[in-house]
């Protein structure tokens, strides 16, 4: 897998989303809960805007000095017995990790949830090297068994119901129990416990690395990241190069923002900071630690007008606030990063060619920008993407180009404009009912399939204005 | 131990940022500091109340006791959970709180007690995996979120607080601070003084949980299913 999910067109993905009624209900229900959790947590804290300002300042400062802080981080990790690998591409990262697996003669790898390893397609690479790879986050485990991509950053299996999960467990693992979520989870616990104990390598992502001490921090509720980093002898942590803060004091602020903005928790059940290998007199934890720092297109964003997209702390608050995501769900974005941040980030990392529709998957209502705990101007980035797609990439369709040329010609020809605005009401009368057009003709069709269009007014604005001017003359 | 591909990678970043590589960066002065205002005037007693309140939110039992009755309280907690196989952190704090004596008594009463012992290697992990309860001391306790901070080390293996079904944290009242701000400040100051942070710092807030199946909160998905904090008035 890579950042792009599946081969279906944007239109087909949207139709799939719109016709999946369970997913739509699950997404809107979850959005409601996540959103109210976030707002309640922000209210309890009292000065949320100051927190957001601080979050933004920390992220800006870090990005402006990213080379310095990554250098400091790598020094510290090495001081603490770890090895650091800087990977320019996904392939370089995968090859390095495959090499470790080969050296260790690893048969089983347990992972804790990680977006960046999804992005680089690490599981496939490890499987090619003969390793069994087990996702240990409950949601990710379900998706792995079902060979399905995640649809949400925080709750990846949001789109699946308990009956589907039971069926997956039955088919793939021989499960015989009920579809009670407690029983399903207990079964997963029992199955995964064995995997943790047998694994040769533990792979994690990285929520935030701390430059000053070389710590890798993982923010989880299930504790699977602790399992992955406590039991196997070898630990490999993979981080997107921007997932770093300068100091522990900064870490605390971004973690507080992350947990509150994601689901409204003060802190998650586990926040684990791991630094290098276990010490000589320690029994558990890895004896061999590798940190893989991945660029994979991120550096192209540095120094551009989109730099603040790298500030993202992966809380999914923008996704939880987005009315478009609410209707179409995560898979419609065709990217492992869904929602507004996905629509901003995916074309930056993977180019416009496959993702030119994503910046249009937005109402530009700015709910995402308002929700973002580190103040990324998401809707402004989406507008800028659209400008680039039209002006620089020239990616609009021929039909749209011709239509826009026609519009320009019409709007700049006074006689044509005057005539058609006079005729509009009469022309559209056959399709008009109670001052609304429900099934419009020609170019209006796409619009009226989704919602009604108001019928042209009886009185043209120009006529109304002229009369008003005349009245005021008296 | 090595660092691969660093220079070319970081040179590229500097180039993208339109400048040469930075070898020194002044710590910035941020314009706001909201984190310092949370519970800033709270007394130790008020922090205890906040902690107790938060324990209800995080599905964690809370009980408080005096130092001299800690053994008795611990015995009651274990009894209530019906646990007889116990793994505990080792170290000087067991002697300081007289827990060593309590553990010895429990052992003579038929409890299977294992204190973390670096000389026994993986045997510790195997025992923890089978134990019904793991007992640790909180190093810093965060009232706002109900979090115990564990600096894992030779006495306090990572598995003690992770593998057994029940997690018991002994919380000295003196370790209470308003929130994570104070814990991270302390670690930051120690780093600056050249005292490196523990190889594993675990901020633990109640039992393990997940809401991955239809948003139903399920407790104990990977780690402990039950959690209890025993606050000890040690001042």
pLDDT in tens, B73-106: 999 999 999 999 999 999 999 999 999 999 999 9
Strand blocks (E) in A157-277 = 201-204, 208-210, 215-220, 234-240, 244-245, 270-275
Those of residues 136-195 in B touching chain A at CB distance below 8 A are 142, 144-147, 152-154, 157-159, 162, 179-181, 183-185, 187-188, 191
pLDDT single digits (tens) A326-368: 999 999 999 999 999 999 999 999 999 999 999 999 999 999 9
Give the per-residue pLDDT at B149.
Answer: 98
Q: Is A67 on the interface with B (CB under 8 A)?
A: yes
Q: Please provide the average confidence, as pLDDT, over all residues in chain A.
A: 94
- In this prediction, residue A211 carries a pLDDT of 98
Phi, psi of A453 (to 5 degrees): -115, 130
Cα separation of B91 and A24, whole Å? 54
What span, in angstroms and rounded, lies between the C-alpha atoms of B34 and A415?
61
Beta pairing partners, A175: none
Q: pLDDT, tens digit, for every residue of A171-195?
A: 999 999 999 999 999 999 999 999 9
A404 contact partners, CB below 8 Å, separation of at least 6 = A396
The C-alpha angle B4, B6, B8, rounded to 5 degrees, equals 120
Assess whether pLDDT exceeds 60 at residue A300. yes
CB–CB contact A26 B206 (8 Å): no
What does the alpha-carbon distance between residue A335 and residue A379 come to, in Å, rounded to a whole number?
18
Distance separating alpha carbons of residues B209 and B164, to the nearest angstrom? 15
**Average confidence (pLDDT) over A154-166:** 94
Q: What is the mean pLDDT of residues A95-109?
A: 98
Work out the pLDDT band at A459, boundaries 50, 70, 90.
confident
Choice between A463 and B33, residue whose per-residue pLDDT is larger: B33
The answer on pLDDT for A450 being more than 80 is no
Q: H helices within A302-397, ranges in order?
A: 317-321, 323-328, 339-350, 367-371, 378-387
Report helix, strand or coil for B5: coil
Looking at residue A440, its pLDDT comes to: 85
pLDDT reading at A1 higher than 60: no
What DSSP state is assigned to residue A136? -
User: Residue A222: its pLDDT value, please?
Assistant: 94
What secondary structure letter does DSSP report for A205? -
Q: What's the average pLDDT block by block, 10 residues per block, for chain B (235 residues)?
A: 96 98 96 95 96 97 96 96 98 95 96 97 96 98 98 97 97 97 98 96 96 90 96 87
DSSP-derived secondary structure for A389-417: IIIIS--S-HHHHHHHHHHHHHHT-HHHH
pLDDT attached to residue A474? 61
A329 three-class SS: coil
pLDDT reported for residue A71? 98
Residue A428, judged by CB atoms within 10 A of its CB (0-12, 13-18, 19+), counts as: middle
The reported pLDDT for the residue numbered B235 is 60
What are the beta bridge partners of residue B64? Answer: B231
Contact A212, A248 (CB under 8 A): yes
Interface of A with B in 281-320 (CB under 8 A): 281-285, 293, 295, 299-300, 302-303
pLDDT at B150: 98
**Mean pLDDT of the A77-93 span:** 98
Backbone angles phi, psi at A275, to 5 degrees: -125, 110
One-letter-per-residue 3-state SS of B19-74: CCCCCCCCCCCCCCCHHHCCCCCCCHHHHHHHHHHHHHHCCCEEEEEEHHHHHHHH
Band of residue A128 on the pLDDT scale cut at 50, 70, 90: very high
Specify the pTM: 0.93
Mean pLDDT confidence for A107-122: 96
Question: How high is the pLDDT of residue A120?
Answer: 97
Which has the minimum average pLDDT: A211-225, A459-473, B154-168?
A: A459-473
Q: Are the CB atoms for A158 and A151 separated by under 8 Å?
A: yes
Q: Say what the ipTM of the complex is.
A: 0.97
Neighbours of A104 (CB within 10 A): 16
Integer Cα distance of B67 and B80 in angstroms: 20
The count of C-alpha atoms lying within 13 angstroms of the C-alpha of B75, restricted to the half-sphere facing its C-beta, is 15
Q: What pLDDT does residue A398 have?
A: 79
State pLDDT tens for residues A236-264. 999 999 999 999 999 999 999 999 999 99
Chain B residue with the nearest C-alpha to that of A73: B3
Tell me which chain B residues have a C-beta less than 8 angstroms from the C-beta of A85: 4-5
Residue B59 near chain A (CB below 8 Å): no
CB A349 within 8 A of CB A296: yes
Digit-coded pLDDT (tens) for A261-279: 999 999 999 999 999 999 9
CA distance A360 to chain B (A): 28
How many other CB atoms sit within 10 Å of the CB of residue B221? 27
Q: What percentage of chain A carries pLDDT values higher than 90? A: 77
Cβ separation A230–B13 shorter than 8 A: no
- pLDDT value, residue A442: 81
CB B209 to CB A295 under 8 A? no
Interchain pair A78, B33: CB under 8 A: no
Distance from the Cα of A358 to chain B's closest Cα (Å) equals: 25
Taking the mean position of all CA atoms in its chain, how far away is CA A201?
A: 27
Q: What pLDDT, on a 0 to 100 scale, did the predictor assign at position B234?
A: 86
Alpha carbon distance A251, B187 (integer Å): 11
Comparing CB atoms, the residue among A86, A227, A269 nearest residue B4 is A86
| CA–CA separation, A184 and B187 (whole Å) | 40
Query: What are A359-395's pLDDT values in tens digits?
Result: 999 999 999 999 999 999 999 999 999 999 998 888 8
């Amino acid at each position: 897998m890579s950042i792009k999910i599946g081969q279906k067109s944007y239109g087909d993905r949207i139709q799939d989303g719109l016709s999946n009624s369970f997913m739509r209900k699950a997404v809107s229900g979850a959005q409601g809960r996540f959103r109210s959790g976030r707002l309640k947590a922000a209210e309890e804290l009292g000065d949320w805007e100051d927190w957001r300002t601080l979050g933004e300042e920390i992220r800006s400062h870090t990005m402006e000095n990213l080379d310095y802080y990554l250098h400091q981080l790598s020094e510290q990790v090495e001081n603490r017995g770890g090895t650091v690998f800087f990977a320019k591409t996904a392939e370089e990262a995968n090859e390095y990790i495959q090499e470790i697996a080969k050296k260790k003669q690893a048969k089983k790898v347990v992972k804790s949830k990680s977006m960046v390893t999804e992005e680089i397609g690490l599981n496939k690479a490890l499987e090619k090297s003969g390793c069994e790879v087990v996702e240990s986050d409950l949601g990710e485990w379900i998706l792995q068994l079902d060979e399905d991509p995640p649809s949400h950053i925080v709750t990846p299996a949001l789109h699946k119901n308990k009956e589907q999960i039971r069926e997956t467990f039955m088919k793939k693992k021989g499960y015989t129990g009920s579809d009670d979520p407690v029983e399903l989870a207990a079964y997963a616990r029992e199955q995964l416990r064995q995997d943790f104990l047998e694994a040769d390598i533990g792979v994690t992502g990285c929520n935030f690395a701390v430059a000053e001490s070389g710590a890798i921090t993982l923010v989880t509720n299930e504790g699977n990241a602790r399992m992955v980093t406590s039991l196997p002898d070898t630990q490999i942590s993979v981080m997107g190069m921007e997932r770093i803060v300068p100091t522990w004091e900064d870490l605390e602020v971004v973690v507080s923002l992350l947990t509150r903005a994601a689901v409204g928790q003060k802190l998650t059940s586990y926040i684990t900071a791991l630094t290098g290998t276990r010490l000589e007199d320690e029994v558990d934890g890895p004896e061999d630690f590798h940190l893989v720092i991945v660029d994979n297109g991120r550096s192209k964003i540095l120094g551009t007008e989109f730099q603040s997209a790298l500030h993202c702390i992966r809380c999914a608050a923008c996704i939880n606030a987005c009315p478009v995501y609410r209707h179409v769900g995560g898979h419609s974005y065709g990217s492992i990063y869904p929602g507004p941040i996905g629509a901003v980030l995916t074309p930056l990392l993977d180019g416009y060619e496959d993702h030119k529709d994503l910046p249009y998957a937005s109402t530009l209502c700015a709910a995402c920008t308002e929700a973002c705990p580190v103040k990324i101007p998401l809707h402004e980035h989406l507008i800028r993407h659209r400008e680039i797609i039209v002006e620089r990439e020239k990616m609009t369709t021929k039909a749209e180009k011709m239509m826009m040329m026609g519009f320009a010609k019409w709007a700049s020809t006074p006689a044509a404009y005057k005539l058609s605005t006079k005729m509009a009401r009469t022309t559209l009368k056959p399709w008009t009912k109670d001052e609304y057009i429900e099934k419009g003709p020609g170019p209006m069709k796409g619009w009226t399939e989704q919602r009604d269009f108001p019928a042209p007014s009886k009185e043209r604005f120009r006529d109304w204005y002229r009369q008003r001017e005349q009245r005021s003359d008296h | 131990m090595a660092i691969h591909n660093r220079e070319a990678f970081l040179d590229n970043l500097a180039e993208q940022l339109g400048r040469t590589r930075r070898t020194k960066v002044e710590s910035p002065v941020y314009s706001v500091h909201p984190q310092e205002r949370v519970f800033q005037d709270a007394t130790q007693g008020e922090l205890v109340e906040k902690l107790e309140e938060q324990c209800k939110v995080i599905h964690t039992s809370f009980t408080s006791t005096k130092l001299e009755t800690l053994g008795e309280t611990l015995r009651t907690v274990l009894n209530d959970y019906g646990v007889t196989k116990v793994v505990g952190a080792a170290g000087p704090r067991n002697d300081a709180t007289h827990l060593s004596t309590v553990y010895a008594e429990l052992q003579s009463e038929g409890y299977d007690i294992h204190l973390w012992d670096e000389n026994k290697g993986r045997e510790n992990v195997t025992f923890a995996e089978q134990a019904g309860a793991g007992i640790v001391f909180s190093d810093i306790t965060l009232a706002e979120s109900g979090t115990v901070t564990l600096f894992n080390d030779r006495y306090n293996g990572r598995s003690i607080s992770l593998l057994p079904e029940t997690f018991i944290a002994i919380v000295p009242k003196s370790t209470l601070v308003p929130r994570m701000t104070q814990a991270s400040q302390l670690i930051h100051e120690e780093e600056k003084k050249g005292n490196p942070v523990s190889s594993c710092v675990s901020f633990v807030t109640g039992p393990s949980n997940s809401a991955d199946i239809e948003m139903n909160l399920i407790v104990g998905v990977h780690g402990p299913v039950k959690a209890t904090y025993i606050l000890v008035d040690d001042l």
